[in-house]
Amino acid sequence: MSNQARLPLFPLKVVLFPNQALPLHIFEERYKQLIGTCLAGDGAFGVVLIRSGDEVGEPAEPHDVGTTALITDVVKYDDGQLDLHTFGMRRFQVLEVVQKKPYLVGRVQWIDDSDAAASESLAEGAEVGLAFRAYFTVLLQLSNQWVRTLDLPAGPEELSYLVGARLDVPPLEKQRLLAITSTLERLLAERALLQAEQVRVQRLLQEKTPFRGFSSN
């Protein structure tokens, strides 16, 4: 099987990780065409973070690492607009853009992690899982949601994708994580981010619920 393919590209201001859901509302004519082409084929297109430009108007310049989005459900409206449910599948690197209009098409090369099953990745995944549980609990408290049990993937690579998607960091930071081709290196980068983020969100939680002193009752 070839490690390269031609793939329709959808530049967005979000980063899609494998195994993560991405809902989309389609209203531009060019992207209606893109989705029509995908539905007539394998139902997949590439999501890439915008490097420069915008989601609407002239074609944006994308970053060169993205993730394929598989269309799992479509709602069609009378005016031609669409609501999509998509699911992140596989990472790729854009080698060249071979078409710019009506939508971008890239010649891409698939990316796989080199050490997903290594013992070091498994050990680091356990540490990151613990740190992420604590961090996510505080995020839920900040948004007044119930703190619930969080089921995390057992595999370190899958865990690294979930953590990358859920971290409350800028898109460029998520893009850096997506582009890493080592599970261990991605997990190490995420643990460093989680340490900094934990300090930040704990401070926000303290500001939201100030200490009122001990009760004498």
For 17-44, write each residue's pLDDT tens digit: 999 999 999 999 999 999 999 999 999 9
pLDDT reading at 216 higher than 50: no
Continuous segment of H or E residues that includes residue 66: strand 61-76
Average pLDDT, the chain: 90
Contact (CB, 8 A) for 86 and 69 = yes
119-208 matches 4-110 in CATH topology: no
Please state the pTM of the whole predicted model.
0.89
CA atoms within 13 A on the CB side of 152: 23
Q: How far apart are CA 98 and CA 105, in angstroms?
A: 6
The per-residue pLDDT for range 148-169, each reduced to its tens digit, is 677 899 899 999 999 999 999 9
Q: Reduced to 3 states, what is the DSSP secondary structure of residue 209?
A: coil
b/e sequence 49-84, b meaning 16+ C-beta within 10 Å: bbeeeeeeeebbebbbbbbbbbbeeeeeeeeeebeb
What confidence tens digit (pLDDT) does each residue in 124-148 have? 999 999 999 999 888 888 888 776 6
CATH topology of domain 4-110: 2.30.130
d(CA 162, CA 184): 14
Which CATH topology does 119-208 take? Answer: Methane Monooxygenase Hydroxylase; Chain G, domain 1 (1.20.58)
Domain ranges of the chain: 4-110, 119-208
Residue 69 in contact with residue 89, Cβ under 8 Å? yes
